[in-house]
Amino acid sequence: MKIYNTLTRKKETFVPLEEGHARLYVCGITSYDYCHIGHARSALVFDMVVRYLRYHGYRVTFVRNFTDIDDKIIARAAEQGVDSKQLAERFIDEFYTDMDALGALRADIEPKATEHIQEMIELVQDLIEKGLAYPSGGDVYYRVRRFTTYGTLSGRKLEDMQAGARIDVNEQKEDPMDFVLWKGAKPGEPKWASPWGEGRPGWHIECSAMSRKYLGASFDIHGGGKDLIFPHHENELAQSVGANDCSFANLWMHHGFVTIKDEKMSKSLGNFLTIRDVLREYPAETLRLFIFSTQYRNPLDFSETALQDAQVGLDRMYDCLAGITGLVQAADTGSGGVDAGISVIGQKDRKKIESLRQRFETAMDNDFNTAQAMGHLFDGVKVLNKACRLLDSQQAAVEDLELLQQAGVTLQELAGLLGVLQQDPMQYLQEKKDNLLASISLSEEEINNLIEDRNAAREKKDWDASDAVRDKLLTHNVELHDGPYGTTWDVKA
RNA sequence: GGCGACGUAGCCAAGCGGUAAGGCAGAGGUCUGCAAAACCUUUAUUCAGCGGUUCAAAUCCGCUCGUCGCCUCCA
């Protein structure tokens, strides 16, 4: 499989350092607020990556950190008059609540910065010994110009950056581009003892220290949002390579942003929706389908319409699975194992059904092209629906039923790699109906009574009366469907 | 100012040198007393524009226009 590497700006064949074992480190959240849809994308993208690597047969060690000490946490805690540690803990809990609601897998190791102060101090000491860092006025800084390849990951030169310098002038630094590894404590701030006095870690050092501890100096994949490329990942790279004298992450994966009206969703712009905001309106699987409708590196524009489209698509997939289940059940109770009928599924459609897994994998192997992979899934749905329709109207051949049943299982398995289509289809559709029913002013019994009245009128061919009932129900968003086996109803969304 | 990404049907989105996947919406059809729902079929001579390379370009190169991002905390 191929993965796009930010470092080389190319898709590269994925070959883990240790055979059969993929080690990956993803930058997690800074816990001072509820997570928004951008965080959901990050979590779900790497959730999909991990699931797919495991599907491919790799043993995966997935590390994702929590930044539980930093300026924003301290500021927010001060604002609310609470302890910064408690604030961080609280939003880690909220993060888990959201992740569980999204059905995202837990990382194998979820280290917190504050629990690795010692490791960070050791790393900073390594850097000082190598001449790559220097203490200054209670702080410790990284000597950027000493790391000759600085800027490789983000593709920028030190000179270029100075041109547009929005860098704060800091008297303590030898060079304005130097970044802080350790910050001396200001009065009232959380602090830890260190060889340079009391203080706290800079932002970037935690990831270098924790990845080294849990994955080793070199590992396979380092991931995060595109906004982390500079300065966070560039600095991590400088720290780790500088301290360990060996390559750091082999491959850097960065996902695109979630936008609203083509602008980046962010706290500072105030144009964000939290995960729980969205999950109040749509099921998690709908959100996942939406997120995977675009390849992970491209921007993803959030809108009500896009979510509704995803919802319709998800329902269609479940309808298809329910159709297969219904057909198989009918056949079981019907002909009782007697091979009725001849195959009606054409050669071309059979081939499409049988190649579904192959096509899905080819798309996913190409830098996790979930958009294309989903296209194949929907294409499968189309062919399966067609087959269901054909079988429904005649005696089903055993081989056809088996093909459909198997295809349904495959469809659900593959969709599961994206975390969708994981519910029992019958139950999903029933729940949807129940939820909608709860939102209208009629009970199921009242609806059924009205349907009986209407059917009585229809017997007498009193179309005016029957249509009146239908219209009345429609004002309550109840739609009637007259089928060969009687009248069923649904609630309009 | 520096660096980078993107621009494909009404909307979303794949394709990245061999002649336009898929989804939503729309249209036609099957079904129906009429509907609805469901399902089927269908919808881009063309890929922002202009040049160039090539037997062949949405795909490669150059320029122009437009949108967005990073360079400051950010997923």
Per-residue pLDDT, A379: 95
Å between CA of A408 and C1' of B66: 45
Query: From the Cβ of A389, is strand B under 7 Å away?
Result: yes
Q: Is the pLDDT score of A425 beyond 90?
A: yes
ipTM score of complex: 0.95
How many residues comprise chain A?
Answer: 493
Residues of chain A with CATH 3.40.50.620: 2-281
Q: Which has more pLDDT, A138 or A441?
A: A138
Query: From the Cβ of A316, is strand B under 7 Å away?
Result: yes
Scan residues 188-227 of chain A and list those with Cβ within 7 Å of strand B: 203, 224-227
Dihedral sign of CA atoms A442, A443, A444, A450 in order = negative
Q: How far apart are CA A211 and CA A24, in angstroms?
A: 9
Class (C level, CATH) for A2-281: alpha beta
C-alpha A246 chain-centroid distance: 31
Å between CA of A38 and C1' of B28: 41
Å between CA of A305 and C1' of B10: 13
Per-residue pLDDT, A234: 97
Q: Is the pLDDT score of A338 beyond 60?
A: no
Query: From the Cβ of A372, is strand B under 7 Å away?
Result: yes
Per-residue pLDDT, A337: 47
Copy the structure tokens of residue A282: 């749509």
Q: What is the mean pLDDT of chain A?
A: 92
- Highest average pLDDT, of A293-302, A324-333, A464-473, comes from A293-302
Exposure of A243 in the CB half-sphere (CA atoms within 13 A): 28
Per-residue pLDDT, A348: 86
Å between CA of A484 and C1' of B34: 16
Contact indicator for A111, A144 with CB cutoff of 8 Å: no
Query: From the Cβ of A77, is strand B under 7 Å away?
Result: no
Contact indicator for A58, A94 with CB cutoff of 8 Å: no
Protein residue minimizing CA–C1' distance to B14: A372
| Each residue's pLDDT tens digit, A264-320 | 998 888 899 999 999 999 999 999 999 999 999 999 999 999 999 999 999 999 999
Q: Is the pLDDT score of A336 beyond 50?
A: no
Q: What is the mean pLDDT of residues A53-58?
A: 98
Å between CA of A450 and C1' of B33: 19
Q: How confident is the model at residue A394 (pLDDT cuts 50, 70, 90)?
A: low
Å between CA of A262 and C1' of B24: 19
Q: Is the pLDDT score of A165 beyond 70?
A: no
Strand B contact nucleotides, protein CB < 7 Å: 1-6, 11-15, 21-25, 32-41, 67-75
Å between CA of A356 and C1' of B21: 13
Query: From the Cβ of A158, is strand B under 7 Å away?
Result: no
Residues of chain A with CATH 1.20.120.640: 304-425
Per-residue pLDDT, A340: 61
Mean pLDDT check: name the lowest of A361-365, A414-418, A447-451. Answer: A447-451
Per-residue pLDDT, A205: 97
CB atoms within 10 A of CB A304: 9
Query: From the Cβ of A161, is strand B under 7 Å away?
Result: yes
Query: From the Cβ of A348, is strand B under 7 Å away?
Result: no
Å between CA of A352 and C1' of B42: 20
Q: How far apart are CA A337 and CA A165, in angstroms?
A: 77
The nucleotide closest to A374 (CA, C1' atoms): B22
Give long-range contacts, CB 8 A cutoff, 24+ apart: A166-172: A171/A137, A172/A136, A172/A137, A172/A139, A172/A141
Mean pLDDT check: name the lowest of A65-79, A174-188, A435-449, A458-472. Answer: A435-449
| Each residue's pLDDT tens digit, A207-244 | 999 999 999 999 999 999 999 999 999 999 999 999 99
Residue from A132, A111, A113 nearest A245 by CA: A132
| Each residue's pLDDT tens digit, A350-391 | 999 999 999 999 999 999 999 999 999 999 999 999 998 888
Copy the structure tokens of residue A343: 């195959």
Q: How confident is the model at residue A170 (pLDDT cuts 50, 70, 90)?
A: confident
Protein residue minimizing CA–C1' distance to B34: A463
Scan residues 252-271 of chain A and list those with Cβ within 7 Å of strand B: 255, 257-259, 262-268
- Phi, psi dihedrals of residue A62, rounded to the nearest 5°: -110, 115
What percent of chain A lies above the pLDDT cut of 70? 96
Q: What is the mean pLDDT of residues A411-438?
A: 92
Q: Is the pLDDT score of A261 beyond 50?
A: yes
Query: From the Cβ of A84, is strand B under 7 Å away?
Result: no
Q: How confident is the model at residue A198 (pLDDT cuts 50, 70, 90)?
A: very high
Scan residues 269-308 of chain A and list those with Cβ within 7 Å of strand B: 272, 293-295, 298-301, 305-306, 308
Q: Is the pLDDT score of A441 beyond 90?
A: no
Q: How confident is the model at residue A164 (pLDDT cuts 50, 70, 90)?
A: low
Q: Which residues contact A284 (CB under 8 A, 6 or more apart)?
A: A101, A102, A103, A419
Query: From the Cβ of A455, is strand B under 7 Å away?
Result: no
Class (C level, CATH) for A304-425: mainly alpha
- Highest average pLDDT, of A34-48, A325-339, A387-401, A426-440, comes from A34-48
Å between CA of A365 and C1' of B17: 21
- Phi, psi dihedrals of residue A41, rounded to the nearest 5°: -60, -45
Å between CA of A361 and C1' of B22: 16
Task: List C-alpha distances in Å: A52 to A4, A255, A368, A376, A475.
Answer: 15, 16, 9, 16, 46
- Binding-site positions of A read 27, 207, 232, 236, 267
Task: List C-alpha distances in Å: A232 to A143, A181, A375, A470.
Answer: 15, 12, 35, 61
Q: How far apart are CA A406 and CA A357, in angstroms?
A: 11
What is the three-state SS of chain A? CEEEECCCCEEEECCCCECCEEEEEECCCECCCCCEHHHHHHHHHHHHHHHHHHHCCCEEEEEECEECCCHHHHHHHHHHCCCHHHHHHHHHHHHHHHHHHHCCCCCCECCEHHHCHHHHHHHHHHHHHCCCEEEECCEEEECHHHCCCCCCCCCCCHHHHHHCCCCCCCCCCCCCCCEEEEEECCCCCCCECCCCCCEEECCCHHHHHHHHHHHCCCEEEEEEEHHHHHHHHHHHHHHHHHHHCCCCEEEEEEECCEEECCEECCCCCCCCCEHHHHHHHCCHHHHHHHHCCCCCCCCEEECHHHHHHHHHHHHHHHHHHHHHHHHHHHHHHCCCCCCCCCCCCCHHHHHHHHCHHHHHHHHHHECCCHHHHHHHHHHHHHHHHHHHHHHHCCCCCHHHHHHHHHHHHHHHHHHHCCCCCCCCHHHHHHHHHHHHHHCCCCCHHHHHHHHHHHHHHHHCCCHHHHHHHHHHHHHCCEEEEEECCEEEEEECC
The nucleotide closest to A168 (CA, C1' atoms): B72
Å between CA of A53 and C1' of B38: 38
